[in-house]
Structure 1
Amino acid sequence: MTRAPYLDADEVEVIAPNFKRRLSGVTSTIIQLVPMQRSLGLGIAVLGPGLPSSLPRIRSRDLWKLWRRLPDGRPRVWHARRNVEMLGGLVLRSLGAPLKLVFTSASQRQHKGWTRFLIRRMDHVIATSQRTAAYLTVPHSVVMHGIDTAKFSPSADPAAAKAALGLDPAQHYAGCFGRVRHQKGTDVFVDAMIALLPAHPGWSAIIAGRATAQHEGFERDLKQRVADAGLADRILFAGEHTDIERWYRVLSLFVAPQRWEGFGLTPLEAMATGVPVVATDVGAFPELVEEGVTGAIIPRGEVQAMVDAARGYMADDAVRGVAGQAALDHAQANFPLEREARQLIEIYARLTQQSRSV
């Protein structure tokens, strides 16, 4: 991977801080959005660990340069997505840095007092869905996440895509991608597949994602459950992959079984690959999946509901094909990454132009 050059602060209009090393949905958002925003002419750079070296960045030692405005007199924008990043922006501004502070919230629960304190001090707040917006008590915009529809796209040769990953080209695969843990509902997916696969010999299942240290016991229990059911060769634990788009291309059905989620990009990634989605009623999933058109929305944590919804797509090639095409059309028309990038750029422009005119 080519290392991007460090940018001079005079070139940087927007800073996207990332103060968490571990890969998360926030990190993935930054990784996808920053190159798109750069391609649209925005001078944006990241700051912090845990991000690919290919992203444009500024050094921590150059932060002192943020105390001077851009050459045309505008302030810079500090776009935070976590509490610690909001705090970092507030500290810099309290010390005299002319910054406009933006915060994106994906939370779907009442914010704690500390978070509310920080949010009230932002210049602009963005919600990633209407459900998230309902928990905000300050003026805000709604900007839903988009997806890179060039990266996440259907395979021209699904059989070859399966063979390239060492999978059986003759099998259909149902997938569940993301961290392996109780919150993500991996156990519900496993139980649903244990119930379904014996009656559908042409199908197997793939679980792609990592179990962090505290969840390794949870993963071991799931693997034992699969082995006890005699399905170890048909319910595959593929681990974590940086080329996850290749794994979407081998799927015939995607299941998002989360018990809780902030936004959740995986249904969009699947739909952009032409795969119908069965998703729980959490995060932004009900706003992403068109019920009965691109997939199905089911209650969280209910194995039987997942079995019933998935069975309909596993048992009928025609239904699945129509839903897959509808999913592809829906993702491409309504959730391209460029749309999200442009909406954010418009917000930055309004903030900084207002500041310059005051």
Structure 2
Amino acid sequence: MAYASAAGTLCRIPVIMTEHSRHYLDVRARRRWEKRFFAYGLDALVEVSPQLMEASAVKDGVSRSKIQTILNGVDIATLQQADGSGFRKEIAASENHFLIGSVGRLEHIKGPDILLDAFAAMAVSAHEARLVYTGSGSMEPHLRERAAALGLSNRVILAGARSDIPEILAALDCFVMPSRSEGLPFALLEAMAAGKPVISTSVGHIPDILKHGQNGCLVQPESPDELSKTLLSVIKDNTLRNTIAKQAPEIVQRQYAQSVMFNEYEALYDSLCR
């Protein structure tokens, strides 16, 4: 943000920044002053949820006149037409395996360690379950070592960073968002659009989207025990899975279509370039 603000000021061109989440849990005054200072050089700060907008205005002191909320949107058709059979074959997952997956950076704030602990707690009760991480990050070595220590190396797949996310989501039987902090995550919307049973921590804008037991399941952050119990419920309850699979795409279609997001960004760009 610092370099972009300076370059925009020097070149006299509009500068826009989009904040997708609180990428840090550090709330020290220095962090807030840094953001407030660099925001002076922005023409617009786009927040992807009302919660992030309030945090920027109230906690960081960014002028509300510069903040605009534009909700994320996804390509629903592509996600619903994707075929996951190739990925299941790639990781040697049979029809009997229940694939639990997460898509995102393997960093502390995303909670991949919480998901692994939850999976370990329920793995004995669900022998058919497999856990798939899609993404890369600094926690990857720790997750690999922890899975080995738990005797789960043959049931935990670290697929790395991938470009075929629609196909991977299509292959999953359940999607988990275990984050400690979020705004409005694309991966969550994509999994919902794909009709997957979704379990997520109740952070950021997510509780405004997910209604527990209807179009998804909510758990408290930093709670592997609760997540483990919810995973078992989703695995064992066909009715719950079918209810979520039906209702989740409907709310994405109504409120989080990619075309709506594109139109709002285009309108913002037009307003700043006149």
TM-score (norm 1): 0.66
**1:187 aligned to which of 113, 116, 130:** 113
Aligned-CA RMSD value: 2.4
Q: Percent identity?
A: 23
Q: Please give the alpha-carbon distance, in whole angstroms, between the structure 2 residues aligned to 1:276 and 1:87.
A: 44
Q: Which amino acid aligns with 2:79?
A: F
- Note the C-alpha offset of 1:141: 2.1
Does residue 257 (structure 1) correspond to residue 178 (structure 2)? The answer is yes
Trace 1:65-80 onto structure 2 (pairs within 5 A): none
Q: Which amino acid aligns with 2:211?
A: E
Trace 1:226-237 onto structure 2 (pairs within 5 A): 226-237=147-158
Does residue 120 (structure 1) correspond to residue 34 (structure 2)? The answer is no
Check conservation: 1:175, 1:251, Cα contact below 8 A: yes
Match for residue 11 of structure 2?
A: 92
Task: Identify if the C-alpha distance between structure 1 residues 231 and 344 changes in structure 2 by more than 3 Å, giving closer, same or farther.
Answer: same
**2:124 aligned to which of 198, 214, 223:** 198
The C-alpha deviation readout for 1:60-113, integer Å capped at 9, x for no partner, is xxxxxxxxxxxxxxxxxxxxxx343233212211xxxxx333333335468632
Q: Which amino acid aligns with 2:218?
A: I
Which structure: larger Rg?
A: 1
SS in 1 for 2:78: coil
Which is helix-richer, 1 or 2?
Answer: 2
- The runs of 5 or more residues in structure 1 that have no matched partner are 1-81, 94-98, 354-358
Check conservation: 1:155, 1:161, Cα contact below 8 A: no
Q: Please give the alpha-carbon distance, in whole angstroms, between the structure 2 residues aligned to 1:165 and 1:332.
A: 31
Q: Which amino acid aligns with 1:300?
A: P
Trace 1:1-358 onto structure 2 (pairs within 5 A): 82-93=1-12, 99-108=13-22, 112-135=32-55, 136=57, 137-138=62-63, 139=65, 140-153=67-80, 155=82, 162-163=88-89, 166-211=92-137, 215=138, 218-353=139-274
TM-score (norm 2): 0.85
Q: Which amino acid aligns with 1:101?
A: V
Q: Please give the alpha-carbon distance, in whole angstroms, between the structure 2 residues aligned to 1:87 and 1:283.
A: 30
Task: Identify if the C-alpha distance between structure 1 residues 236 and 344 changes in structure 2 by more than 3 Å, giving closer, same or farther.
Answer: same
The C-alpha deviation readout for 1:24-82, integer Å capped at 9, x for no partner, is xxxxxxxxxxxxxxxxxxxxxxxxxxxxxxxxxxxxxxxxxxxxxxxxxxxxxxxxxx3
Aligned residues: 261
